Amino acid sequence: MASPHPSELLEDLLRLADRFSQVPESAVRDLPLEELSAAQARALQQLGRLLSSRLGRASAVSGASSGSPELAQELGLAAQRGELRLHYQPQVDLSNGRIVGVESLIRWQHPRLGLVPPSRFIPLAEETGQIVGIGEWALREACVQAQAWCGQGLEGLCVAVNLSARQFSQPDLVQIVAGALRAGDLRPGLLELELTESCVMEDPVAGALQLTAISDLGVRTAIDDFGTGYSSLNHLSRFPIKVLKIDQSFVRGITGDPYDAALVSAINAMAHSLGMKSVAEGVETPEQLALLKGCGCDVAQGYLLARPAPPEALDLRRRYA
């Protein structure tokens, strides 16, 4: 079947955004899946098709080696040697300009190679399975730092930590998260765990159980890079997810492509109709920020607002215009 003309897709998206905006917040979440209204179910399916037509399915991770055996061995010792560090990127509430959270990002300061980019060592950690230990270290570190900020009077600041697919599939993940909260003496509501769509949807039944157990701890969950994975939006609406993070590829095109602008509007409206917050990633220009505010995005992060930095370099009391 021939693909729809871009103008037809744009019209569909504009209608879709309007349809979602008319659904009362959380109305869908309180219904069993089989009792979703026909209009709401069609809207979810339509948005899924439009996302697929925009990006296609996410590329599979390459099986090629991401680094030398020597580098993999050094990575295994990096945490013990104090070479791994967390930097944090502020997240700004677009309604008032206040920093309401930070995303933690792992950095590796290698003694010989200098700062190793995450694009090099994170895939290597995934490939070798070391991501589980590194991820557990990052989770504990982030909880300790979040509690330190609470002690400085920043009591409402939420810290987001990325979970890999390997971590998410661990049967003792909930115990690990609970242990990290205890280690930091952190209130659960100040921790957010970010997962990709494909990670959650690889096994929807097991994913739902894991997400529910995490939610029962009081910890928030977020879908990262939304729009680039495989998710069935009907399934997604049933998970206890609090945040949708709009992938930066959509944000990048929002000022020059009416299709991307309409798509971001539809995602925002859908998130709100499901009782979720929307976060835009990769905001780099004032024009992007203005459009995101106009289409109802709740929170933004990106180089325009603040680059990732170590805790001591952040001004978390800053208010953005």
Residue 48 lies in a domain: no
Task: Report the pLDDT value the prediction gives residue 19, as an integer from 0 to 100.
Answer: 55
Going 30 to 234 to 91 to 202, the CA torsion angle's sign is: positive
Please check whether residue 318 is in contact with residue 99, taking contact to mean a CB–CB distance below 8 angstroms: yes
Task: Report the pLDDT value the prediction gives residue 266, as an integer from 0 to 100.
Answer: 86
How is residue 56 annotated by DSSP? -
Task: Report the pLDDT value the prediction gives residue 16, as an integer from 0 to 100.
Answer: 55
Measure the CA angle with vertex 274, ends 271 and 276; round to 5°.
55
Tell me the pLDDT of the chain (321 aa) as tens digits.
444 444 454 555 555 555 555 544 444 444 444 444 555 556 666 666 666 665 543 333 333 344 678 888 899 888 889 999 999 999 999 999 999 999 999 999 999 889 888 888 999 999 999 999 999 999 999 999 999 999 999 989 999 999 999 999 999 999 999 999 999 999 999 999 999 888 888 888 899 999 999 999 999 999 998 876 655 566 777 889 999 999 898 899 899 888 888 888 888 988 898 889 999 999 999 999 999 999 899 999 999 999 999 999 999 999 998
Task: Report the pLDDT value the prediction gives residue 227, as an integer from 0 to 100.
Answer: 72
> Which two tokens mark 108?
């590796």
Task: Report the pLDDT value the prediction gives residue 130, as an integer from 0 to 100.
Answer: 93
Helix, coil or strand: residue 3:
coil
Return the closest-CA partner of residue 316 out of 74, 65, 102: 102
Residue 294 lies in a domain: yes
Task: Report the pLDDT value the prediction gives residue 302, as an integer from 0 to 100.
Answer: 97
Packing angle between helix 38-55 and helix 258-273, nearest 10 degrees? 140
Task: Report the pLDDT value the prediction gives residue 238, as an integer from 0 to 100.
Answer: 80
Residue 188 lies in a domain: yes
Rounded Cα gap, residues 142 and 149, in angstroms: 11
Task: Report the pLDDT value the prediction gives residue 260, as an integer from 0 to 100.
Answer: 84
Residue 41 lies in a domain: no
Residue 135 lies in a domain: yes
Contacts of 36 (CB under 8 A, 6+ apart): 28, 44, 234, 237
Residue 232 lies in a domain: yes
Domain of 295 in residue numbering reads as: 73-258+269-313
Residue 57 lies in a domain: no
Question: What is the CATH number for 185?
Answer: 3.20.20.450
Number of domains comprising the chain: 1
Residue 28 lies in a domain: no
Task: Report the pLDDT value the prediction gives residue 318, as an integer from 0 to 100.
Answer: 96
